[in-house]
């Protein structure tokens, strides 16, 4: 089990901003000298190859989302911290894509057991759109669903957002899997695709 990073990020950022002002926030994501637009002038677009290593993630309120770190050791019954090996689920996700039901961008999330033992996990997925200040901005998240492994239409989550137009734009679909009653690793994998869908 691990904490839901999207529910905790707001509280963590309030503390960080109180201590350091706006350092590290959206305004620090990039500058015109990086070859990217300023945050004030940024618009959605197609991500160039050089965006890969330096891009930041912003939540729906424009706050930077911390990237997940390695798992913490689990706590034993006597309260001592010991190093134990977490299990690793297989985190399933598809490419962001235009939905067949209309001018909508969507993505799905699911899981398989990997080397985990339990057969239920809390799963959600989120869609991020690339902006020219080299940020991935959250545009939609699914609800968290407790799913059996295996995927398929009955065992997956879906995030979707209506398109404002059909200009080609880069999107990422990230999935988070939290195995029920079992300590698992904290990967936050994604798939990226250019989709004929732009959201402002």
CB 166 within 8 A of CB 198: yes
Residue 69 is predicted with a pLDDT of 62
Mean pLDDT of the chain: 83
Judge whether 96 and 195 are in contact, CB under 8 Å. yes
pLDDT at 102: 84
Using DSSP's 3-state secondary structure scheme, residue 18 falls into helix
Annotation: CATH topology of 5-68+84-198: Immunoglobulin-like (2.60.40)
pLDDT tens-digit map of 169-188:
999 999 999 999 999 998 89
Q: Indicate the domain borders of the chain.
A: 5-68+84-198
* pLDDT tens-digit readout, 80-90: 343 478 999 99
72-121 pLDDT per residue, tens: 544 444 443 434 789 999 999 999 999 887 899 999 999 999 999 999 99
Q: pLDDT tens-digit profile of 144-168?
A: 999 999 999 999 999 999 999 999 9
Reading the block at residue 40, the tokens are 């004030």
Instruction: Give dist(CA 53, CA 62) in Å, integer.
Output: 20
């Amino acid at each position: 089990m691990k904490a839901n990073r999207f529910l905790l990020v707001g509280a963590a950022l309030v503390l960080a901003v109180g201590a350091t002002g706006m350092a590290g926030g959206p305004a620090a994501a990039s500058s015109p000298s990086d070859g990217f637009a300023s945050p004030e002038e940024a618009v959605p677009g197609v991500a160039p190859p050089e965006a890969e290593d330096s891009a930041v993630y912003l939540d729906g309120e424009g706050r930077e989302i911390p990237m997940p770190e390695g798992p913490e050791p689990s706590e034993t019954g006597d309260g001592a911290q010991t190093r134990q090996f977490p299990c690793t689920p297989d985190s399933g996700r598809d490419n962001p894509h235009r939905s067949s039901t209309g001018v909508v961008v969507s993505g799905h999330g699911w899981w398989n057991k990997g080397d985990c033992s339990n057969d239920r996990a809390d799963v959600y997925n989120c869609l991020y759109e690339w902006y020219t200040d080299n940020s991935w901005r959250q545009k939609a998240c699914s609800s968290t669903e407790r799913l059996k492994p295996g995927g398929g239409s009955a065992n997956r989550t879906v995030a979707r957002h209506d398109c404002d137009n059909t200009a080609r734009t880069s999107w990422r679909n990230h999935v988070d899997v939290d195995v029920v009653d079992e300590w698992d690793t904290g990967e936050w994998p994604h798939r990226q695709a250019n989709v004929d869908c732009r959201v402002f």
